[in-house]
Amino acid sequence: MNKPTRIADATAADPIIVNVGLGERAYDIAIGRGVLDQLGERIAALRPGARTAIVTDRTVAAHWLKRTQTSLDAAGIAHSHIVVGEGEASKTYGVLAEVSEALVTAKIERNDLVIALGGGVIGDLVGLASGLVRRGTGFVQIPTTLLAQVDSSVGGKTAINAPEGKNLVGLFHQPRLVIADINVLATLPAREMKAGYAEVVKYGLIGDAAFFDWLDNDGSKLLAGDTAALARAVAASVRAKAGVVERDETETGERALLNLGHTFGHALEAATGFSARLLHGEGVAIGMKLAFDLSAALGFCDGQVPGRVANHLARMGLPHRLADIPGDRPATAELLHHMAQDKKVEAGKLTFILARAIGDAFIAKDVDAAAVGKVLDAAP
Q: Which residues are catalytic?
A: 135, 157, 199, 241, 251, 255, 259, 262, 266, 280
CA 178, 219, 362, 282 torsion-angle sign: negative
* Residue 309: alpha-carbon gap to chain centroid: 20
The count of other CB atoms within 10 Å of the CB of residue 299 is 8
3-state secondary structure of 117: strand
The answer to whether 181 and 35 are in contact (CB under 8 A) is yes
Query: 217-251 burial by CB neighbour count: b if 16+ within 10 A, else e?
Result: eebebbbebbbebbbbbbbbbbbbbbebbbebbeb
Side-chain half-sphere of 296: how many Cα atoms within 13 Å?
17
Sheet strands (E) in 85-176 = 113-118, 138-143, 157-162, 165-172
Please tell me what DSSP assigns to residue 15.
P
Ramachandran sector of residue 176 (left: φ over 0; alpha: ψ -120 to 50; beta: rest): alpha
CA atoms within 13 A on the CB side of 260: 31
